[in-house]
Structure 1
Amino acid sequence: MGPSYRTSYQAKQEKEVVDLEARALSPKGSLVSPSLPHASSFRRRRSHSRRALKWITAGVFILCLVGCILRISSHVNVLHSQQLDYEPIDVVAVSLKPSCVTREAITSLNRYLQPRAIHIITTSSVKCSIFSLFADNVVCHLQDKFLDGVTVDRVGDFLQRRLGLDQHKRFKGRDMSGWYMQQFLKLGSVLALPGLTIYYVVWDLDMILLSPVQLVWRDRELPGGGLVDMSASAGQTQTLVNIGGSVAPGYMASFQRLTKHGLEFAPDGTSFVTHWMVIYKPYLLEFLRELSNDGDGPTDWVWRILGAVEPRYADLGFSEYASYISWVRQHYPQSQRLASRKTWVRHPFGQRTLSLLRLLRTDRCCCPNGLLLWLLRLLGFVYTGYEVGHIPECRYDASEHAMSYGL
């Protein structure tokens, strides 16, 4: 044969070898012709599967999110309907100055709690005029005229003269004498404001309510969501008690000295220092009488409390919340209904988050952020703190914020 035949024959053999290699290398050994793009088709199908999986995952997430929103919305509507069954109650609060935080706190109270009046005790008439602009139901009072004979200077003088403490010492952004004074104003509200509703709320104005909350149960009402019945009997009225507070040796020491009993704690070991509480006027009046030790003066309990402070723990030497709630638990245990879990946080997603978000504002103030509040509400929290005075970067005590903050 001629050269042309051998060349054609060799080319045919080489093509058969290539075909054989292609079949050997095709996926799973399938006998697919190399002219068909099998590998690329497989990759396209796999890419489509991944995209479909992503869409399915996103869809499931959106459904879960919608379900959570509907569940929370349903729970909120139930609490709203429960709230309408009762007469509005009053709120008492103490605040050093008006701020973007106190304004949001007052707005949230009116939105979710709908109180008859919000009594605010502050340090000057100018600040009172600003507070009164926040809502029509705000009633403002001056602290040094609120309790007969009890002023911040007298409290500071007692701390310094009787206990050897620096009345102007600062701890976590607060002045010691002012910190004790604000507790006495809350407890003394039952004496200074005789027209308060029989049940009323003492509220720290650096706490923001995120949803409606039932405060009082009467007769045979069933427990609300997230609550546990604490030895309720037929016809017994109960008030909500929050849990999840911090524990301090000073709180325990002063209560032991005042009542000869130990301080009470929640079943999970946390305290009742949760920054607001429901007051029943007859119980608080009885508590103050006991603290006065049958003294003649209406405010003897103030000086007896200060005398019971352990100087070593004076920075956290007494708690109005832990003391009142503990006393009621020891004398009228059936009157309380404890939350079964902690439903609040001191700062939305930590102090660092608040200090960073202030950079978005021209005044660099740490003010409530709507997105953070929405996320906390979505996560099921009932209220959150915005304790900007505890965060140095927020500059709450700066001279330019002497009369107000973030307004």
Structure 2
Amino acid sequence: MANTFDVVIPLYRCRWNTQAVLEGITTHYAPRAIHIIAPEQEAQALQDKARDWQVASLFTHGEESFFEGCGFTKDAICAELDLGASLYTPGWFYQQLLKLGAAEGIPDLSEWYVVWDSDLLPVATWPLIEAQQPSPQHRFALLQHNQWGNADIVSTWAKWIRSVLEIEPCTDPEGTFIPHHMWFKQEHLATFKHQLNRHYQTNSHWLLLMMRSANEFGTFSEYWAYASWVAAQAPADLSFYPYDDYGATTERFFDDGSGLFSAALRSYLAAPSLEDAVFSPSYVDVAAFIRAEYGSEAMPSSLSFESSPRHLKKNEATMHIEEQRSRWNPRNHK
């Protein structure tokens, strides 16, 4: 039976690994459709680039006008922010709203849909749906250990959940609920958004309230907030694989096309340098390289290709274990 769920991916820029990620999702999960939400020019360019890619039905949406059906442009929503000097950009907050509000800009989006981070490559991956009685389980994988990272930021996210949602954050003995992908159900998103109105005692649109909450708290986490809401309201609909199942083998590292992984991949494929051609390897080629590099018995569950240079400047104390242990972390090659 064909899968009837859609995948949603906010995408700032098409990168060297975009083709492999989209083809990997298609290969492993065969979604009904993949929806990319990107800056308008990027969205249009991706449609042309992807013509020869082996991907599920692909639809692109311009992020600037994504919420026009709600009466708001991206600029109007981001104008609610007043953070001054901040670690986060308005675009970082906006992409979280795209995940929570995907159904408001995509007609006929599936009731259950998967948001997938654009840099997460599935390798020896996990089933997203498990056939169980009385109904299938929509499951995601915990991919980030909770003993590393920035404790101050995590504490602020938890404070947001307690204050705005008026519930306790859901926790796990090992993993965090920042798993770089997430099942969302429109039914639960509707009550989540209604809670924002109830908490702030206003009929203002949830998009504006989320941004205003960032002014109050400094930050929020869409994945953890949503998971906590479902855990409190409909726990049977929150299903996940523990960290040891798939998180223990995932790796996260910087590679914007100039990193160790892409350099080794180019050598493996005898590919031209970045100056000579646009590098966009297929999932088949990337998977073959990973098998050759790791061996079939030690394949990672997934790889995250971070594109922000700030990942090269992180303090060891705030570097996630998935980054520390990666063979593609340049600090491990000094």
Give TM-score, length-normalised by structure 2.
Answer: 0.72
Residue in 2 aligned with 1:286?
A: 191
Q: Cα–Cα, structure 1 residues 131 and 320, in superposed 2: closer, same or farther, change >3 Å? A: farther
Instruction: After TM superposition, give the deviation of residue 257 of structure 1 in Å.
Output: 1.9
The one-letter code of the counterpart of 1:184 is L
Residue in 1 aligned with 2:232?
A: 330
Q: Which structure has the bigger radius of gyration?
A: 1
Residue in 2 aligned with 1:259?
A: 165
Note the 1:119-268 alignment, pairs <5 A: 119-134=35-50, 135=53, 137-147=57-67, 148-160=70-82, 164-166=83-85, 171=87, 176-211=89-124, 213-220=126-133, 235-245=134-144, 248-268=154-174
3-state SS of 1:139 partner: strand
Moved over 6 A (4+): 364-368
1:88 aligned onto 2:26: no
Q: Cα–Cα, structure 1 residues 301 and 106, in superposed 2: closer, same or farther, change >3 Å? A: same
| Aligned mate of 1:340, from 231, 234, 242 | 242
Q: Cα–Cα, structure 1 residues 126 and 238, in superposed 2: closer, same or farther, change >3 Å? A: closer
Indicate the RMSD between aligned Cα atoms, in angstroms.
3.3
Instruction: After TM superposition, give the deviation of residue 261 of structure 1 in Å.
Output: 1.7
The one-letter code of the counterpart of 1:379 is A
The one-letter code of the counterpart of 2:76 is R
Contact 2:35 2:59 in 1 (8 A): yes
3-state SS of 1:379 partner: coil
Name the one with the larger helix percent: 1
Instruction: After TM superposition, give the deviation of residue 202 of structure 1 in Å.
Output: 0.6
Residue in 2 aligned with 1:386?
A: 305
Residue in 2 aligned with 1:303?
A: 208
**Runs of 5+ unmatched residues, structure 2:** 267-272, 313-334
Instruction: After TM superposition, give the deviation of residue 338 of structure 1 in Å.
Output: 2.4
Cα deviation code 1:311-356 (max 9, x no counterpart): 6x73xx1111111111101111122222123414797475499733
Matches of 1:371 and 1:349 in 2, distance apart? 19
My pick for the range that moved more, 281-290 or 197-206, is 281-290
Q: Cα–Cα, structure 1 residues 128 and 324, in superposed 2: closer, same or farther, change >3 Å? A: same
Give TM-score, length-normalised by structure 1.
Answer: 0.60
Q: Work out the number of aligned pairs and report it.
A: 281
Residue in 1 aligned with 2:259?
A: 355
Residue in 1 aligned with 2:25?
A: 109
Instruction: After TM superposition, give the deviation of residue 236 of structure 1 in Å.
Output: 4.8
Instruction: After TM superposition, give the deviation of residue 132 of structure 1 in Å.
Output: 4.9
Contact 1:89 1:115 in 2 (8 A): yes
Cα deviation code 1:336-383 (max 9, x no counterpart): 222123414797475499733455652289987556633287425332
Cα deviation code 1:32-83 (max 9, x no counterpart): xxxxxxxxxxxxxxxxxxxxxxxxxxxxxxxxxxxxxxxxxxxxxxxxxxxx
Q: Cα–Cα, structure 1 residues 121 and 392, in superposed 2: closer, same or farther, change >3 Å? A: same
Contact 2:43 2:61 in 1 (8 A): no
Residue in 2 aligned with 1:5?
A: none
Structure with larger RCO (C-alpha < 8 A, sep 6+): 2
Cα deviation code 1:370-399 (max 9, x no counterpart): 566332874253322111224677xxxxxx
